[in-house]
Homo-oligomer: A and B are copies of this chain.
Amino acid sequence: MKIIETRQAPNPRRVRIFLAEKGIEIEYEEISIMTGEQRSDAFTAINPMQRVPVLVLDDGTAIAETVAICRYFEEQQPKPALMGEGALGRATVEMWQRRMESDLLWTVGNKFRHTNPRAIVLEDPQIAQWGEVNEGRAMDFLKVLDAHLADRPFVAGDNYSIADITGLCAVDFMKPAQLELPSEHTNVARWYGELAARPSAQA
Contacts and interface: CB of A to CB of B under 8 A. Distances in A.
Interface in A179-203: none
A40 interface: no
Contact of A71 (B57, B90, B144): B90
Contacts of A81: none
Contacts of A147: 48
A95 interface: yes
B48 A144 contact: yes
A67 B98 contact: yes
Given A48-B144, A99-B65, A94 B75 contact: no
B69 A103 contact: no
B88 A65 contact: no
Interface residues of A, number: 35
Contact of A125 (B67, B68, B90, B133): B133
A35 interface: no
Interface in A61-118: 61, 63-65, 67-69, 71-73, 75-76, 86-88, 90-92, 94-95, 98-99, 103
Task: Determine the main DSSP class of A at the interface with B.
Answer: helix
A87 B92 contact: no
A174 to B, nearest CB: 20
A122 B169 CA distance: 28
Interface in A140-179: 144, 147-148
Given A72-B90, A125-B129, A130-B130, 7 more contacts: A49-B99, A57-B88, A65-B94, A65-B99, A72-B87, A76-B87, A127-B130
28 contacts: A48-B144, A48-B148, A49-B144, A55-B91, A61-B88, A63-B88, A63-B92, A63-B95, A64-B99, A65-B94, A65-B95, A65-B98, A67-B94, A67-B98, A68-B92, A68-B94, A68-B98, A69-B91, A71-B90, A71-B94, A75-B87, A75-B91, A76-B87, A125-B129, A127-B127, A127-B129, A127-B133, A130-B130
